[in-house]
With several copies, the nearest count.
Chain A
């Protein structure tokens, strides 16, 4: 078992004929990911690394009934490509690009929820179930199969954590980059139920940041539903303030929403182990290693 993706997951690559698309298709295929189709408008009928290319996602879905689509398209085309995948009924859509206009994501998120599609990203490394399947561009060599499920807003902090875990011999079940943007397609509470239900995931790691209320909502969910140990880190305690010119920012955060303090105390109250740094995560997991057979 694994979360969201596994060795059976059939994947469409949107933007497959581009430089990034070609490179990462090759990488994903080499890792064992079942890339079954590519999409580039106007280039239907071609092949990339043996993968058939279609003009549209709808055709690709008709031919392959794929389970997921990953977008290797520039930020300005994400809205269109994600909308296409959502409308074509792809159940899981992963967007990679950074600098996607925020209102584009607002629209895509709204549409995905409406249509019951799991949208992950943007500004995400993707999703990996080590040894089974990867969707995205993560440096997969540092990952190893195991029982720690990870959700992270930051790619680099996730890499850092995974690197240390793998070095210590602690593998991962599934790692999900929820992405660092203001409006992510999925947030911690969208992924938590999956990790919680997954029998292969014994411990959950949450790599959070200041801003938004995703960690607070996660804390609420954990308190109610999660029995597995959860380890969390909140970075950005000393990040520069937004230097907001308007009053709106101050009004919105008048109750402390978004601060590291608020997040950590909510998580702590939910029984979550709070780590001081990514390295501290690894230390905590080493302590849990025996009990949970990590």
Chain B
């Protein structure tokens, strides 16, 4: 689960990572609703909160020199569509007196399989470019969970970055607190870009924040579990989650949706279909042991995905029983199939014969395949119908 900037900033505040003074306004509120709005030191930055990069260029980041400006920008941004997202919140922050911009993140590294600090003395917008062109300017340092962040970790980062030991204590505090946040919030990623050196006293301040929380850990991160329910997110994803399914948008549009009982087979299906030049718009992972009524609902969700003509179902039943699958498919085809839509089913495993028998005698809207390859072949043969 990816947090929006204002949520990340609120975590930074909670963990005492220095940020600029800020306030959040939600849709329906106006600037003067902010408690103590008059205490803000102008200019302010007004930032639209959407789950997308590139909002600056799209007009989602604005500067307010006066109270009047701020009121206008808030009014203007809240509720507006930006890069395909509705702006439900704006974040207002005082503008920092930036001397230099660093990059700092702590991520769970798939390669080392432990947390990793990524640091660069040249942060800001061009960090990805820097990673490509001058990778040596980006330091990566694994954190041993049994050791944690130590003062020498930070000394090393500063020394290798050519920065003065002057920043040691403040940077150490920031990294320790970010690591605490990382651990306690079950984060997969925490990022501060830029981490700015500000003002004559060269204070280190987080000017932007990104945090991603491990979905598997949300059961013990109740705040974010609740927050997720009200976050702007695809309806299908939410609907599928209610049945404990994982709905994965694939291409922006496409006539095919795939369903399977494991992410591996889903990927196999998508690879085979893509190789034929046909686009898959979405995939649904049922996980293990789905029952007939849940399968029926999963199929309904995929059939209602805009633009979908065919749903391709591949089940290799370990625990899942084929007769349950057949029952669910039959039910969905009878009740939810739209005009011109059809379903291709391939299933293998426990009670296969029984399941196949249950699906026989259905009309052209339901095709049976023997294996994955054949299920894709049936699709390719009907390319014209897509």
B251 shortest CB reach to chain A, Å: 8
- Ranked nearest first, the 4 interchain pairs of A and B with the lowest CB-CB distance are A154-B264, A156-B262, A156-B265, A238-B274
Contact partners of B271 in chain A: CB under 8 A = 235-238, 277
Which residue of chain B has the shortest Cβ distance to A105 in the bound complex? B113
B233 shortest CB reach to chain A, Å: 12
Q: Is B109 an interface residue (CB 8 A)?
A: yes
Is the CB–CB distance between A246 and B212 below 8 Å? yes
Is the CB–CB distance between B373 and A157 below 8 Å? no
Can you name 19 A-B pairs with beta carbons within 8 Å? A41-B155, A42-B155, A56-B155, A59-B159, A59-B160, A98-B288, A102-B186, A102-B214, A110-B144, A138-B318, A156-B265, A156-B316, A159-B316, A160-B265, A163-B316, A240-B248, A245-B2, A251-B105, A279-B373
Is the CB–CB distance between B317 and A84 below 8 Å? no
Q: Mark A143-155, 1 if CB is under 8 A from B, else 0.
A: 0000000001111
Contact partners of A207 in chain B: CB under 8 A = 264
Q: Mark B25-67, 1 if CB is under 8 A from A, else 0.
A: 0000000000000000000000000010100000000000000
Contact partners of A99 in chain B: CB under 8 A = 215-216
Is the CB–CB distance between B250 and A240 below 8 Å? yes
Which of A153, A238, A249 has the most C-beta atoms of chain B within 10 angstroms of its own C-beta? A238
A106, A180, A212: the one within 8 Å of B263 (CB): A180
Contact partners of B250 in chain A: CB under 8 A = 238-240
Q: Is A7 an interface residue (CB 8 A)?
A: no
Contact partners of A174 in chain B: CB under 8 A = none
A41, A104, A183: the one within 8 Å of B113 (CB): A183
Contact partners of B186 in chain A: CB under 8 A = 101-103
Q: Tell whether A110 pairs with B110 under 8 Å between CB atoms, given A247-B191, A251-B127.
A: no
Contact partners of A261 in chain B: CB under 8 A = none
Q: Is A226 an interface residue (CB 8 A)?
A: no
List which A224-259 residues lie within 8 A (CB) of chain B: 235-240, 244-252, 254-255, 257-258
Assembled-state Cα–Cα distance A92/B71 (Å): 63
Contact partners of A42 in chain B: CB under 8 A = 155, 165, 168
Q: Tell whether A111 pairs with B146 under 8 Å between CB atoms, given A246-B210, A277-B268.
A: yes
A243 shortest CB reach to chain B, Å: 8
List which B246-269 residues lie within 8 A (CB) of chain A: 248-251, 260-265, 267-268
B155 shortest CB reach to chain A, Å: 5
Contact partners of B263 in chain A: CB under 8 A = 154, 156, 180
Q: Is B371 an interface residue (CB 8 A)?
A: yes
Is the CB–CB distance between B51 and A103 below 8 Å? no
Assembled-state Cα–Cα distance A58/B70 (Å): 49
Assembled-state Cα–Cα distance A207/B144 (Å): 30
Is the CB–CB distance between B262 and A155 below 8 Å? yes
Q: Is A182 an interface residue (CB 8 A)?
A: yes
Which residue of chain B has the shortest Cβ distance to A24 in the bound complex? B319
Q: Tell whether A84 pairs with B108 under 8 Å between CB atoms, given A55-B156, A98-B287.
A: no
Which residue of chain B has the shortest Cβ distance to A79 in the bound complex? B150
Assembled-state Cα–Cα distance A180/B265 (Å): 12
Contact partners of A80 in chain B: CB under 8 A = 150-152
B107, B215, B268: the one within 8 Å of A248 (CB): B107
Q: Tell whether A154 pairs with B262 under 8 Å between CB atoms, given A55-B156, A84-B152.
A: yes
Assembled-state Cα–Cα distance A138/B152 (Å): 29
Q: Is A47 an interface residue (CB 8 A)?
A: no
Count of A residues near B, CB < 8 Å?
75
Assembled-state Cα–Cα distance A279/B138 (Å): 42
Is the CB–CB distance between A251 and B155 below 8 Å? no
Is the CB–CB distance between A139 and B317 below 8 Å? yes
Q: Is A264 an interface residue (CB 8 A)?
A: no
Contact partners of A55 in chain B: CB under 8 A = 155-156, 158-159, 165
Contact partners of A180 in chain B: CB under 8 A = 263-264
Is the CB–CB distance between A239 and B268 below 8 Å? no
Is the CB–CB distance between A103 and B264 below 8 Å? no
Assembled-state Cα–Cα distance A241/B268 (Å): 15
Q: Is A37 an interface residue (CB 8 A)?
A: no
Q: Is B103 an interface residue (CB 8 A)?
A: yes
Which residue of chain B has the shortest Cβ distance to A247 in the bound complex? B127
Q: Mark B99-121, 1 if CB is under 8 A from A, else 0.
A: 00001010111110111001000
Q: Is A107 an interface residue (CB 8 A)?
A: yes
Q: Is A109 an interface residue (CB 8 A)?
A: yes
Q: Mark B206-234, 1 if CB is under 8 A from A, else 0.
A: 00001010111101100000000000000
Is the CB–CB distance between A251 and B131 below 8 Å? yes
Assembled-state Cα–Cα distance A160/B373 (Å): 11
Q: Is B291 an interface residue (CB 8 A)?
A: no
Q: Mark A47-79, 1 if CB is under 8 A from B, else 0.
A: 000000011111100000000000000011000
Is the CB–CB distance between A257 and B145 below 8 Å? no
Q: Is B358 an interface residue (CB 8 A)?
A: no
Which residue of chain A has the shortest Cβ distance to B210 in the bound complex? A246
Q: Mark B175-205, 1 if CB is under 8 A from A, else 0.
A: 0000000010010110101000000000000
Contact partners of A159 in chain B: CB under 8 A = 316, 318, 348
Contact partners of B107 in chain A: CB under 8 A = 246, 248-249, 252
Q: Tell whether A41 pairs with B108 under 8 Å between CB atoms, given A155-B264, A180-B263, A277-B271.
A: no
Contact partners of A114 in chain B: CB under 8 A = 146
Contact partners of B318 in chain A: CB under 8 A = 125, 137-139, 155, 159
Assembled-state Cα–Cα distance A160/B268 (Å): 10
Q: Is B22 an interface residue (CB 8 A)?
A: no
Q: Is A278 an interface residue (CB 8 A)?
A: yes
